[in-house]
């Protein structure tokens, strides 16, 4: 059974889902954009017999506090610091890490700073390589190199309903994706201040790419057991990014599934089986 809790971390209410026995190995699940921990709603029950699962909503996402950008810096460094403090508040000192999309730069920052915490990593369309950046990133590089208000405003389309539905459905088989996930994410876009804080994170994403060499150095040094499972039809983080993990971490297994960016929407049971098999 999944339970739904909140905890105060750094003056913020952090919402999280928890399932499985605390006597089992813990897995920390870190969501992506434009989602929240509800993206794990199908995976968590499929893993709860083998793992103790913790899935928080980042500040500014889902059910967690969303302070004003005037009082909270929406950067990946800051989100990583809050989630690090969340982990410490729950007294999690060893765990498996599941990262997806935005969760990857947050999770790898935590892993770099606390390598002793990490028992293994699942990266599901969680990119840390230049090879994994799809064509859209060239346009973002122009925005980062030559930012203007007009270019910033142009990224409001990133959380338009049509875009979010496309993120969920592109690269998947027809009629295989439930509307529940993307409709909830669309609802979250209507909350106060959502657009501006997300635009701050889109601009700050450049610092994740600059940190890729550090993330890769962590892998080369510590060689964690790593499962890179990828929706192979993802146009944002293309599957060569999954293959690239092998270059730095000899304990890597790469699995491609016939899905898109939100591979859990169509392959949660398949991915759960992969995780249980690889980390048995």
| Orientation angle between helical segments 103-113 and 76-89, nearest 10 degrees | 60
Strands in 20-139 per DSSP E: 26-30, 52-56, 95-99, 118-124
Please give the positions annotated as active site. 261
Question: How many distinct helices (H) and strands (E) make up the chain?
Answer: 11, 8
Residue 106 in 3-state DSSP?
helix
Cα(79)–Cα(75) distance, rounded to whole angstroms?
A: 6
Cα dihedral 113/117/122/125 (nearest 10): -20
Residues 6+ apart with CB under 8 A from 265: 42, 168, 172, 176, 177, 178, 181, 259
Q: Which of 149, 113, 117 is nearest to 28 (CA)?
A: 117
């Amino acid at each position: 059974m999944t339970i739904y809790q909140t905890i105060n971390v750094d003056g913020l209410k952090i919402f999280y889902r928890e399932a499985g026995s605390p006597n089992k190995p813990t897995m920390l699940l870190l969501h992506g954009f434009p989602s929240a921990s509800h993206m794990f709603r199908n995976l968590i029950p499929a893993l709860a017999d083998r793992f103790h699962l913790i899935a928080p909503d980042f500040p500014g996402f889902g059910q967690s506090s969303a302070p004003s950008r005037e009082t909270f810096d929406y950067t990946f460094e800051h989100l990583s610091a809050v989630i690090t403090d969340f982990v410490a508040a729950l007294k999690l000192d060893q765990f498996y890490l599941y990262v997806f999309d935005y969760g990857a730069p947050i999770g790898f920052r935590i892993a770099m700073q606390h390598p002793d915490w990490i028992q293994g990593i699942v990266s599901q369309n969680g990119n840390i390589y230049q090879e994994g950046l799809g064509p859209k990133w060239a346009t973002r590089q122009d925005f980062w190199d030559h930012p203007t208000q007009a270019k910033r405003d142009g990224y409001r389309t990133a959380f338009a309903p049509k875009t979010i539905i496309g993120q969920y459905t592109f690269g998947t088989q027809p009629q295989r994706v439930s509307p529940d996930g993307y409709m909830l994410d669309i609802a979250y876009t209507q909350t106060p201040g959502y657009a501006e804080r997300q635009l701050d994170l889109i601009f700050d994403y450049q610092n994740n790419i600059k940190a890729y060499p550090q993330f890769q150095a962590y892998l080369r040094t510590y060689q964690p057991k790593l499962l890179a499972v990828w929706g192979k039809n993802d146009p944002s983080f293309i599957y060569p990014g999954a293959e690239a993990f092998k270059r730095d971490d000899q304990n890597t297994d790469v699995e491609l599934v016939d899905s898109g960016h939100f591979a859990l929407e169509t392959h949660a049971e398949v991915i759960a089986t992969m995780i249980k098999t690889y980390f048995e």
